[in-house]
Structure 1
Amino acid sequence: MGIMNNFSLEGKIALVTGASYGIGFSIASGYAEAGATVVFNDINQDLVDKGIKAYEEAGIKAHGYVCDVTNEDQVNEMIAKIEKEVGVIDILVNNAGIIKRIPMTEMTAAEFRQVIDIDLNGPFIMAKAVIPSMIKKGHGKIINICSMMSELGRETVSAYAAAKGGLKMLTKNIASEYGEFNIQCNGLGPGYIATPQTAPLREEGHPFNSFIIAKTPAARWGDPEDLMGPAVFLASDASDFVNGHILYVDGGILAYIGKQPK
């Protein structure tokens, strides 16, 4: 078998949560190109329908399901339905998440809990639901979408940073607990990515745009396509001895202290 065959996802079933658009959509599209069957969920039927249409326009046949990742009963029902209608999941990407940019002293406990629930409890519930079938099948890949906020703090993102820091450690613990069953759990940590959601921040002259470019050795925002190769690697046989690792795709931000002021 040639080395490139190790990167193929042919015959694999990949579930990417919250993948109707954005980073999740790009990762799922990369999986489809590598040969995987794509399954995704979102919080309501409207988003699922929009996702199906977007995949169709990209020439991808995707299977979409409505499911709230924080609802354990809904998750278990969805996983059972996927296994019946599509097959046993080989690859789970915990991509669904939210961020609330609110100063900590102005954030309510309910708002904090909501972020933790979606960004940390959701991946726990999803992973818990797919692991038994992965054990029976004899292999599995779980990829948690972490963040630079898994390592760094910043103003107004206390809940998000707490959740993503917790997700980093959940990743390591899943690897520790289920590695013996040939299940690899790793994290993918995007840097600042050019998506429709970040478009207002990237306008010429916006101080945040200048800040990110100055803080990034690559001197640019990342493109969603920059995540495809790393995501395929972590989902493929090429990463079978990579476990409990967080792969940061950030253009070098975490390695860089920044330029000295003039």
Structure 2
Amino acid sequence: MPITDPRLEQTDKSFWHGFTEFYDTHLPLKIEGKILEFGVFKGNSIRWLLAKFPEAMIHGADILPIQSEWPIDARVTYHMVDQDDETQVKSLLEHVGRGLQLVIEDGSHFPRHQSRCLRLGLDALEPGGTYVLEDIQTSHPAHSQYADEFGTALGQTSLSVLLAFEHLKRRGEALSQSTLATLGGGTHFTDVDIAKLFAQIASIDVYKRATLPSKCWKCGSSDYDYHSYRCGCGVDLIDEADSMSVVIRKA
């Protein structure tokens, strides 16, 4: 469903990343169960979900308490959760309970948090459900949040693991012991985690924006210097590690 409410255009899923058109193709057309989104921010993505899935019950999780700008609706429940605390993430998923058909991870963007929510969230997702890991570019070695966690070393992240899975599945290959040894044994996933994730995933679709955003996330303008790929306010418009999302279908 295309965005028709001007308020929904305020979500960076649309104006900066360009995720929403990708999601129109890859997300379920209808959800009658539950949706969980990590990261509420200003609430615009909750508004987008309310419009896109009018029969779903939506859970928004954030490290902040409920903010005045967040939408209030009978179909929305908010939860205060720290993604750095595994117990809190587990408790949230247990509280949401059965019927979870869509998880969108758009929270802190810290690589370790992305991996934790993937590992726990995919377990909680119903068979055939959809898991979306947004802004996964922060798990790319060129991104500052990757450097904050790993420094100059190469580390195991959701991005490296999921790209490997997509490569294997596209080629019709199983997860061999040698590949398992290469992917496993890191700080985010054990060998057991890797094998379980691979078995749980039916398909992976990857998006990376290759065009200029509609407007700047920082200043809100489209006053661009097209030759330098920068906004007039100085923000880079196309980075090596920018605007990536992964849509996973659970087996």
TM-score range, shorter chain: 0.5 to 0.7
**Cα offset, 1:240, TM superposition:** 7.5
From 207, 219, 230, the equivalent of 1:200 is: 219
What does residue 21 of structure 1 align with? Answer: 42
TM-score by length of structure 1 reads 0.51
What does residue 121 of structure 2 align with? Answer: 130
What does residue 88 of structure 1 align with? Answer: 99
Using the alignment, how far apart are the partners of 2:86 and 2:165 within structure 1?
Answer: 18
Change (3 A) 1:139 1:159: same
What does residue 44 of structure 1 align with? Answer: 64
What does residue 93 of structure 2 align with? Answer: 79
Are residue 139 (structure 1) and residue 153 (structure 2) matched? no
TM-score by length of structure 2 reads 0.53
Please tell me whether the aligned partners of residues 200 and 250 of structure 2 are also in contact (alpha carbons under 8 angstroms). Answer: no
After superposition, the C-alpha distances for 1:112-163 in whole angstroms (9 at most, x for unaligned) are xxxxxxx2111222222233343xx433322111355666847x66637979
- Which sections of structure 2, spanning at least 5 residues, go unmatched? 1-24, 167-174, 176-194
SS in 1 for 2:231: helix
Please tell me whether the aligned partners of residues 13 and 88 of structure 1 are also in contact (alpha carbons under 8 angstroms). Answer: yes
Residue 19 of structure 1 aligns with an amino acid whose one-letter code is V
Q: What percentage of residue pairs aligned between the two structures are identical?
A: 7
SS in 2 for 1:202: coil
Change (3 A) 1:148 1:123: closer
Change (3 A) 1:159 1:171: same
Change (3 A) 1:15 1:148: same
Please tell me whether the aligned partners of residues 172 and 186 of structure 1 are also in contact (alpha carbons under 8 angstroms). Answer: no
What does residue 247 of structure 1 align with? Answer: none
CA RMSD of aligned residues (A): 4.6
Structure with the bigger percentage of helix: 1
The alignment of Structure 1 onto Structure 2 pairs a total of residues equal to 187
- Which sections of structure 1, spanning at least 5 residues, go unmatched? 99-118, 217-221, 242-262
Change (3 A) 1:21 1:182: same
After superposition, the C-alpha distances for 1:13-68 in whole angstroms (9 at most, x for unaligned) are 221100242674465346435x4322111112133x642xx254xxx721211101
Change (3 A) 1:149 1:161: farther
After superposition, the C-alpha distances for 1:186-210 in whole angstroms (9 at most, x for unaligned) are 5554677568x82426374788315
